[in-house]
């Protein structure tokens, strides 16, 4: 049997008659982490933590979350302030460099992004070759994963600082291009070339719709800021683990795109809208769906509710909820699912099942309603999430490489059959 007791900045672990001393690391806000990096060699034991629910994989200085209090900060700045006051390109530099940029630094950065806009014709032909009804996240995955083939000079995207930044500028500059092209291919519309005179978000909207509404651009900028980074979530952890093999940046980001797609992660924004629509078509009986979500024999879950880290209202959801009425009002749009969403939230927050498990609306609960009001189709929502999350993925990758972290390689506890002899097929 093992017991753990904390002693100053070490903890003691007793296994059988042996006592081992494990160092404790302390974070900015006094969070404690037991450093078990020598555990296996010292004790012949590994830890077991399926889903990494209690396992810190790194010491990071990018994003801080206090899930119990509902706090999210990037490089120390509260998300509410960033969403209201920072632009998405400003956030990119904050995440990448650790400090808010000066006006000069921001202008140079934006010029560099513009200088990198443009995809080789072969990539467009690759997209053209895909059936129009392919899911947009599959199209994004194909395009991002094809980049190393088209931009071979970036295959080692770390050793040389100039190549590194070239890779970073390139993918940041062109993910909006890919997203717009995917949308247009999906809807059998002609591609619109980028307009270098426009800002990052405006240019994206222009390539999507051929016109730019400033109110939409402002709201989208804020939505992208809200998605910028979220510490060691499923896709960021995937980017870090894939990148820890020293694969190029594009391929590490491609791994993150695939991880994001699932409905338990970035795919939840699409799943929320589909759920709200299904409830509306079914007569709008919110209580029935609350009961389904609570029923352990029913696979239905309330999409957009619950979070691995937040055991309080997701601060991003709070900001997005503010934007729902603002954006719909400004665009003069009404959406019948808004009332269903608000009704679901009210019923869930008043229900003991959800409050006892600390299940609150997450970032995906209201974001889809805004995307749809902007004219972005439901199956593009997760691609929009990827667009917002890209600077976070790059920053997590860069931090992992800067720290020279070892290759990500978890252990396991093997519970399969013990050694046995091969039986020839005619004797089985």
Binding site for ligand CMC (CB under 6 A): 230, 233, 264-266, 268, 293, 301-308, 357, 359, 362-364
Which residue number, 321 or 401, has a Cβ lying nearer to ligand CMC? 321
The token pair that represents 121 in the structure block: 């014709």
Q: Which residues contact 427 (CB under 8 A, 6 or more apart)?
A: none
Residue closer to ligand CMC (CB basis): 217 or 320? 320
Catalytic residue among 229, 314, 364, 379: 364
Q: Of the two residues 117 and 226, which places its CB atom closer to ligand CMC in the complex?
A: 226
Contact (CB, 8 A) for 265 and 259: yes
Give 15's strand partners.
Answer: 2, 18
Catalytic residue status for 364: yes
Distance of closest approach, residue 310 Cβ to ligand CMC, in angstroms:
8
Nearest-CA neighbor of 253 among 178, 173, 168, 185?
Answer: 168
Instruction: Report the nearest approach of ligand CMC to the CB of residue 303 (Å).
Output: 5
| Distance (Å, whole) CA 286 – CA 278 | 11
Q: Which residue, 120 or 357, is less far from ligand CMC as judged by CB? A: 357
Strands ordered across the beta sheet of 77-78: 63-66, 71-74, 77-78
Q: What angle do CA 319, 327, 92 make, to 5 degrees?
A: 55
Smallest distance, Å, CB 53 to ligand CMC? 7
Q: Any catalytic annotation for residue 307?
A: yes
Burial class from Cβ neighbours inside 10 Å (0-12, 13-18, 19+) for residue 77 reads middle
Residue nearest to ligand CMC (CB): 306
Q: Which is nearer to ligand CMC, 180 or 324 (CB)?
A: 324
Please state the closest distance from residue 19 (CB atom) to ligand CMC, in A.
33
Torsion of CA 160, 228, 61, 6, to 10 degrees: -140
- Written as one string, the DSSP assignment of 238-305 is HHHHHHTTT--HHHHHHHHHHHHHSTTTTTHHHHHHHHHHHHHHTT--HHHHHHHHH-TTS----TTB
CB of 292 to ligand CMC, least distance (A): 9
- 307 vs 372, which CB is nearer to ligand CMC? 307
Measure Cα distances from 303 to 46, 92, 102, 346, 427 in Å. 34, 29, 40, 15, 51
Tell me the closest approach of the beta carbon of residue 301 to ligand CMC, in angstroms: 4
Catalytic residue among 221, 307, 314, 335: 307
Integer angstrom CA distances of residue 296 from 235, 275, 301: 28, 18, 10
**Cβ 363 to ligand CMC shortest distance, Å:** 5
Burial classification of residue 68, based on how many CB atoms lie within 10 Å of its CB (0-12 exposed, 13-18 middle, 19 or more buried) = exposed
Cβ atoms of residues 341 and 366 within 8 Å: yes
Residue number, 136 or 368, with CB nearest to ligand CMC: 368
Annotated catalytic sites, by residue? 307, 364
């Amino acid at each position: 049997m093992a017991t753990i007791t904390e002693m100053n900045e070490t903890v003691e672990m007793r296994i059988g008659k042996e006592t081992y001393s494990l160092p404790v690391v302390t974070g900015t806000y006094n969070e404690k982490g037991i450093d078990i990096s020598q555990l296996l060699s010292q004790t012949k034991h590994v830890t077991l933590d399926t889903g990494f629910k209690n396992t810190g994989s790194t010491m990071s200085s990018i994003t801080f979350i206090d899930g119990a209090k509902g706090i999210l900060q990037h490089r120390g700045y509260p998300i509410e302030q960033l969403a209201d006051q920072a632009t998405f390109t400003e956030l990119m530099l904050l995440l990448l460099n650790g400090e808010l940029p000066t006006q000069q630094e921001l202008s140079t950065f934006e010029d560099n992004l513009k200088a990198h806009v443009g995809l080789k014709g072969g990539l467009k032909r690759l997209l053209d070759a895909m059936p129009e009804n392919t899911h947009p996240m599959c199209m994004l995955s194909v395009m991002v994963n094809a980049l190393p083939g088209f931009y071979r000079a970036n295959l080692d995207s770390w050793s040389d600082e100039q190549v590194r930044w070239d890779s970073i500028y390139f993918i940041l500059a062109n993910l909006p291009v890919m997203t717009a092209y995917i949308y247009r291919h999906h809807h059998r519309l002609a591609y619109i070339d980028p307009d270098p005179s426009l800002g990052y978000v405006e240019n994206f909207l222009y390539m999507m719709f051929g016109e730019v509404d400033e109110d939409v651009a402002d709201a989208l900028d804020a939505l992208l800021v809200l998605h910028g980074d979220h510490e060691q979530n499923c896709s960021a952890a995937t980017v870090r683990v894939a990148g820890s093999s020293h694969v190029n940046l594009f391929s590490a980001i491609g791994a993150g795109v695939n991880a994001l797609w699932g409905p338990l992660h970035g795919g939840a924004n699409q799943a929320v809208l589909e759920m709200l629509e299904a409830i509306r078509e079914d007569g709008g009986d919110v209580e029935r769906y609350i009961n389904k979500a609570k029923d352990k024999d029913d696979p239905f879950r309330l999409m957009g509710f619950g979070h691995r880290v937040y055991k309080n209202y997701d601060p991003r959801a709070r900001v997005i909820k503010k934007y729902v009425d603002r954006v719909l009002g400004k665009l003069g749009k009404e959406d019948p699912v808004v009332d269903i969403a608000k009704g679901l939230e009210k019923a869930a927050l008043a229900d003991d099942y959800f409050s006892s498990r600390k299940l609150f609306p997450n970032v995906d609960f209201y974001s889809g309603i805004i995307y749809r009001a902007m004219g972005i189709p439901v199956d593009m929502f997760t691609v929009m999430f990827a667009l917002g999350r890209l600077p976070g993925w790059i920053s997590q990758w860069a931090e992992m490489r800067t720290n020279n972290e070892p290759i990500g390689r978890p252990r396991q506890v093997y519970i399969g059959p013990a050694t046995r002899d091969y039986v020839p097929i005619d004797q089985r």
